């Protein structure tokens, strides 16, 4: 496998709105990010992926872009952006931009002009259809944020398509003018010295609307090959597609190097295991065996070609320690355990802001505390359909996107040191306990543990390129695997429960175990009587 710089890199995702506010307006901004570059460099991360910072009416917090070549004033200016790219580069950190091109904002000038008349040269940049004879929508296609995906446009007497909010009209990727515009814009950003793109809901751009196909449509891969050729193809950038519908087979289509599409994709199969019947508003308990089975399948399927992205959470998902660990008594230990399992897999690990200090879910009790358009829309859709208020509030607490969007907890200062003003969304009151200042000051904090994991990846080829072998596959509480490269063997063992477990690793008794990193265990004499305490995790070198 040809080696790439992003193979042994670690990416840190920033949700700019909630990261650090430099001017007291309650909204995180670019200068806030610049002020924390030493914190990020200290962690050892190589890449920052910024959720969108472009001009936007913020209907979906920036995933509704009204100008791709301007910065939203609440985030700063283009000069601030250039300074961020430059200062990050000096610390060997690259900036990956979020590329949202399935749709724009309805306030984008393309859409505004498209709305002027059916003859507008921009009309065909979007997806328009006539009403059915009875005046109803062209199809019963639903928006991912709830309700119909079609919105009636009275002045021109047609419906337009929006797979997300009605302020996010879908671009028409059957129009090659759209390709040209997007490619030009991407090249303009590449010229600015960015490190790559995270491609928002990219699996939707090949859609065939009249056949009712949205994800993984027939035009998807040719479109990506065309984009690759016209933009980042020969630039050695990191490109990661957000692909909810990817199977390992599909992931290989995107990421096999010879296909010239993307570096890697985010797949969500392990995430949706805790959604009953694929519905995130019906949370289900984690079954560790299926979780291991899914992750193992991805490790094995992409072993020779393609590349995995590794993540437990992002700005759309609940906090990892709340979802898969124990955010109460065992918060610190379980956060480190989860990090161990993720960072020793094959692929590029992603850390979502605050994960490195073990931030937890928001636990909002009132609907008024929520800000997210998806949560607010679905509260209405579900309660209208008969789900009770209490049940929906529990679902939001479990899986709502605002769990990830409460402000980064920097210190014990008011508002967790995030802002001197009033934050746009409430700070989690546990900031007095959970904050970066405290983690930086302690030797055995979650932050220090992440730092150790990031550096372990740089030192051990077996973590980056080693063969992956699952162990104890039938165990209900323990996740264990071996990474093997040349002479090096690393054994990763993690207890996902608050019970003690004695594990049988007899096939490795002949080896001498040395602990490289652990969240509790100092030394091991041998493996024959390995007793795991609650949430114990360790990386053991076998010689």
- Of 41, 137, 144, 381, the one binding ligand TEU by CB under 6 A: 144
Q: Which residue is nearest to ligand TEU (CB)?
A: 63
Q: Using CB under 5 A, which of the segments 24-32, 140-148, 316-324, 425-433 binds Ca ion?
A: 24-32
CB of 60 to ligand TEU, least distance (A): 5
Rounded distance, CA 511 to CA 526, Å?
A: 8
- Of 5, 7, 23, 458, the one binding Ca ion by CB under 5 A: 23
- Of 88, 201, 295, 532, the one binding ligand TEU by CB under 6 A: 201
Nearest alpha carbon to residue 184 among 106, 69, 85, 107: 69
- Of 75, 164, 189, 312, the one binding ligand TEU by CB under 6 A: 164
CB of 180 to ligand TEU, least distance (A): 22
Q: Quick one: DSSP state of residue 283? A: B
- Contact status: 398 vs ligand TEU (CB under 6 A): no
19-47: b (≥16 Cβ within 10 Å) or e? bbbbeeebbbbbbbbbebbeebeebbbbb
Dihedral angle of Cα 318, 323, 324, 330, to the nearest 10 degrees: 110
- Contact status: 37 vs ligand TEU (CB under 6 A): no
Q: Which does 21 bind (CB under 5 to 8 A by kind): ligand TEU, Ca ion, none?
A: Ca ion
Q: Which does 237 bind (CB under 5 to 8 A by kind): ligand TEU, Ca ion, none?
A: none
Q: Render 444-489 in DSSP notation, one character per residue.
A: TSHHHHHHHHHHHHHH-HHHHH-EEEEESTT-SSEEEEEEEETTEE
Q: Render 210-275 in DSSP notation, one character per residue.
A: GGTB-TT-TTHHHHHHHHHHHTTTTTT-EEEEE-TT--HHHHHHHH-GGG-S-SEEE--TTTGGGB
CB of 167 to ligand TEU, least distance (A): 11
Question: Locate tokens 């480190």: which residue?
Answer: 336
Specify burial of residue 377 (Cβ count, 10 A radius: 0-12, 13-18, 19+): middle
Tokens of residue 29, six digits: 């901004």
Tokens of residue 271, six digits: 């995430």
- Contact status: 382 vs ligand TEU (CB under 6 A): no
To the query of whether residue 25 is one of the catalytic residues in this protein, the response is no
CB of 301 to ligand TEU, least distance (A): 23
To the query of whether residue 200 is one of the catalytic residues in this protein, the response is yes
Nearest alpha carbon to residue 142 among 161, 128, 170: 161
Q: Render 389-405 in DSSP notation, one character per residue.
A: HHHHHHHHHHH-GGGGT
Each residue 25-44 as x (binds Ca ion by CB under 5 A) or -, in order, gives x-x-x---------------
Catalytic residue among 106, 242, 374, 477: 242
Q: Which does 23 bind (CB under 5 to 8 A by kind): ligand TEU, Ca ion, none?
A: Ca ion
CB of 21 to Ca ion, least distance (A): 4
Q: For residue 487, what are the contacts with CB-CB under 8 A and spacing of at least 6?
A: none
- Contact status: 58 vs Ca ion (CB under 5 A): no
Q: Which of residues 59-98 bind ligand TEU (CB under 6 A)?
A: 60, 63
C-beta closer to Ca ion: residue 37 or 190: 37
Q: For residue 456, what are the contacts with CB-CB under 8 A and spacing of at least 6?
A: 343, 344, 463, 516, 517, 539
Q: Using CB under 5 A, which of the segments 22-30, 212-220, 403-411, 436-444 binds Ca ion?
A: 22-30
Q: Which does 201 bind (CB under 5 to 8 A by kind): Ca ion, ligand TEU, none?
A: ligand TEU
Calculate the alpha carbon distances from 453 to 189, 336, 339, 342 in Å: 31, 10, 8, 10
Q: Which does 29 bind (CB under 5 to 8 A by kind): ligand TEU, Ca ion, none?
A: Ca ion
CB of 244 to ligand TEU, least distance (A): 6
Rounded distance, CA 257 to CA 539, Å?
A: 30
Nearest alpha carbon to residue 115 among 69, 183, 167: 167
Q: Which of residues 272-291 bind Ca ion (CB under 5 A)?
A: none
Tokens of residue 315, six digits: 């700005």
Q: Which residue is nearest to Ca ion (CB)?
A: 29
C-beta closer to ligand TEU: residue 164 or 479: 164
Catalytic residue among 29, 64, 80, 200: 200
Each residue 238-267 as x (binds ligand TEU by CB under 6 A) or -, in order, gives ----x-x-----------------------
- Contact status: 100 vs ligand TEU (CB under 6 A): yes
- Contact status: 323 vs ligand TEU (CB under 6 A): no
C-beta closer to Ca ion: residue 73 or 522: 73
Nearest alpha carbon to residue 479 among 345, 357, 355, 331: 345
CB of 20 to ligand TEU, least distance (A): 20
* Contact footprint for Ca ion (CB under 5 A): 21, 23, 25, 27, 29
The residues binding ligand TEU (CB under 6 A) are 60, 63, 100, 144, 164, 200-201, 242, 244, 280, 315-316, 374, 401
Write out the catalytic residue numbers: 200, 242
């Amino acid at each position: 496998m040809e080696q790439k710089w992003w193979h042994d890199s670690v990416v840190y995702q920033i949700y700019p709105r909630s990261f650090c506010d430099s001017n007291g307006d309650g909204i995180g901004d670019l200068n806030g990010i610049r002020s924390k570059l030493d914190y990020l460099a200290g962690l050892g991360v190589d890449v920052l992926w910024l959720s969108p910072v472009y001009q936007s009416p913020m209907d979906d917090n920036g995933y509704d872009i009204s100008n791709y070549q301007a910065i939203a004033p609440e985030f700063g200016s283009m000069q601030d952006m250039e300074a961020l790219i430059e200062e990050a580069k000096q610390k060997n950190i690259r900036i990956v931009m979020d590329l949202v091109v399935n749709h724009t904002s309805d306030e984008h000038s393309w859409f505004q002009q498209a709305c002027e008349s059916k003859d507008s040269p921009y009309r065909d940049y979007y997806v328009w259809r006539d009403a059915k004879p009875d005046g109803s929508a062209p199809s019963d296609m639903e928006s991912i944020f709830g309700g119909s995906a079609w919105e009636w446009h009275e002045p021109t007497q047609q419906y337009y398509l929006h797979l997300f909010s009605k302020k996010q009209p879908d671009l028409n990727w059957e129009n090659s003018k759209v390709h040209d515009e997007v490619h030009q814009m991407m090249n303009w950003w590449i010229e600015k010295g960015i490190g790559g793109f995270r491609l928002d809901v990219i699996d939707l751009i090949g859609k065939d609307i009249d056949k009712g196909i949205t994800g993984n449509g027939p035009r998807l891969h040719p479109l990506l090959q065309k984009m690759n050729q016209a933009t980042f193809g020969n630039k050695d950038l990191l490109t990661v597609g957000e692909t909810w519908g990817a199977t390992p087979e599909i992931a290989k289509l995107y990421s096999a190097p010879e296909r010239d599409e993307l570096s890697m994709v985010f797949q969500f199969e392990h995430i949706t295991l805790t959604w009953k019947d694929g519905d995130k508003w019906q949370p289900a308990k984690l079954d560790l065996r299926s979780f291991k089975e899914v992750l193992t399948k991805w490790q094995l399927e992409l072993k020779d070609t393609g590349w995995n992205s590794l993540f437990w959470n992002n700005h759309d998902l609940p906090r990892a320690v709340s979802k898969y660990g124990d955010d109460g008594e065992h918060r610190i230990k379980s956060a480190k355990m989860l990090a161990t399992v993720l960072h020793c897999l094959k692929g590029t690990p992603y850390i979502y802001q605050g994960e490195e200090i073990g931030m937890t879910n928001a636990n909002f009790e009132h609907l008024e505390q929520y800000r997210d358009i998806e949560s607010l829309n679905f509260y209405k859709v579900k309660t209208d359909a008969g789900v009770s208020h209490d049940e929906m509030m529990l679902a939001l607490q479990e899986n709502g996107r605002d769990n990830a969007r409460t402000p980064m907890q920097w210190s014990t200062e008011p508002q967790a040191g995030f802002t001197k003003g009033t934050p746009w969304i409430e700070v989690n009151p546990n900031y007095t306990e959970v904050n970066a200042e405290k983690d930086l000051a302690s030797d055995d904090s979650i932050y220090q543990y992440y730092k150790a994991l990031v550096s372990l990846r740089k030192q051990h080829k077996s973590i980056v390129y080693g063969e992956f072998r699952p162990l104890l596959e039938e165990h209900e509480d323990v996740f264990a695997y071996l990474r093997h490269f040349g002479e090096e063997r690393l054994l990763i063992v993690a207890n996902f429960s608050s019970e003690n477990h004695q594990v049988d690793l007899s096939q490795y008794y002949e080896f001498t175990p040395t602990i490289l990193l652990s969240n509790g265990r100092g030394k091991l004499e041998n493996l024959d009587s390995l007793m795991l305490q609650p949430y114990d995790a360790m990386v053991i070198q076998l010689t």
